[in-house]
């Protein structure tokens, strides 16, 4: 790096840590309120920095949104690596649904789902990344369903991708209903999904 000195390393590390902290808190806000519903003032107060400092790291909210999408891509890879270590497709599906049920208890929405709900108002650069994250979600769930068919533990009509779409749209909708109704909507939907796919 031009102008970089060895004794500047601590400052660079702190700067990167601050940026990561900003992105993580932004993701929390997206899960609770949506991307368009919080301001830089809200975020700077939550992080404990000035708006000027926040603008230094992310000049525009679009820049922050792109960093959030990159972080979600990394987090998705980490989760995928954990799930891939499980032995059967049934265990993998259970891991996913257990996480969904935990989200429903907190009232938070999956950040990808939240960004999908705001697709028409987010910047075009973010739309491309949200579309990519959505495709990855569908493709990975399709792989697990296809694996379960091969293992003989899943049985359903249609192809794995169609079933993946049905599952994703069902539980994403269930999270919204759970927020409004404060009941066992999510657990009911998950149970029905199991009934649809288990042999």
How much is the average pLDDT of 175-191?
Answer: 84
Residue 154 lies in a domain: yes
Q: How confident is the model at residue 108 (pLDDT cuts 50, 70, 90)?
A: confident
Lowest mean pLDDT among 4-13, 65-74, 188-197: 4-13
Residue 157 lies in a domain: yes
CA distance 98 to 89: 14
Kindly report which listed range (62-66, 95-99, 104-108, 167-171) carries the lowest average pLDDT score: 104-108
Which CATH number characterizes residue 188's domain?
Answer: 1.10.357.10
- Give pLDDT, residue 182: 66
- CA-based end-to-end distance of the chain: 58
163: domain range?
Answer: 6-197
Say how many domains are in the chain.
Answer: 1
Strands (E), the chain: none
CB 107 within 8 A of CB 168: no
Structural domain includes residue 52 = yes
Tokens of 45: 């107060």
pLDDT, residue 10, reads 39
Mean pLDDT score, 2-15:
40
For residue 14, the model assigns a pLDDT of: 65
**183, part of any domain:** yes
- Encode pLDDT of 34-52 as tens digits: 999 999 999 999 999 999 9
Chain-centre distance of CA 106, in angstroms? 15
Is 96 among the domain residues? yes
117 domain-assigned? yes
Q: Is residue 1 part of a domain?
A: no
Instruction: Specify if 23 maps to a domain.
Output: yes
pLDDT digits (tens, 9 = 90+) for 49-78: 999 999 999 999 999 999 999 999 999 999
22 backbone dihedrals φ, ψ, rounded to 5°: -60, -45
Average pLDDT over residues 181-191: 84
Lookup: tokens for 71? 């972080």
pLDDT band at 89 (very low <50, low <70, confident <90, very high): very high
Q: Which pLDDT value is given to residue 9?
A: 31
The model's pTM: 0.86
The model's pLDDT over 121-175, given as tens digits with 9 standing for 90+, comes to 999 999 999 999 999 999 999 999 999 999 999 999 999 999 999 999 998 888 8
């Amino acid at each position: 790096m031009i102008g970089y000195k060895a004794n500047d390393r601590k400052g660079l590390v702190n700067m990167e840590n601050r940026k990561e902290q900003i992105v993580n808190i932004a993701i929390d806000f997206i899960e609770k309120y949506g991307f368009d519903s919080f301001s830089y003032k809200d975020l700077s107060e939550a992080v404990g920095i000035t708006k000027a400092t926040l603008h230094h790291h992310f000049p525009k909210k679009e820049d922050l949104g792109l960093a959030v999408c990159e972080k979600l891509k990394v987090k998705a890879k980490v989760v995928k690596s954990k799930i891939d270590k499980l032995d059967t497709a049934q265990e993998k599906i259970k891991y996913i649904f257990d996480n969904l049920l935990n989200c429903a208890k907190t009232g938070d929405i999956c950040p990808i789902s939240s960004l999908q709900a705001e697709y028409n108002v987010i910047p075009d650069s973010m739309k491309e990344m949200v579309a990519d994250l959505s495709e990855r979600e569908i493709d990975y769930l399709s792989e697990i369903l296809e694996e379960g068919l091969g293992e003989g533990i899943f049985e359903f009509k249609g192809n794995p991708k169609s079933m993946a779409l049905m599952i994703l749209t069902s539980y994403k909708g269930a999270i919204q209903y759970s927020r409004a109704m404060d009941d066992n909507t999510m657990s009911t939907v998950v149970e029905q999904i199991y009934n649809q796919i288990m042999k």
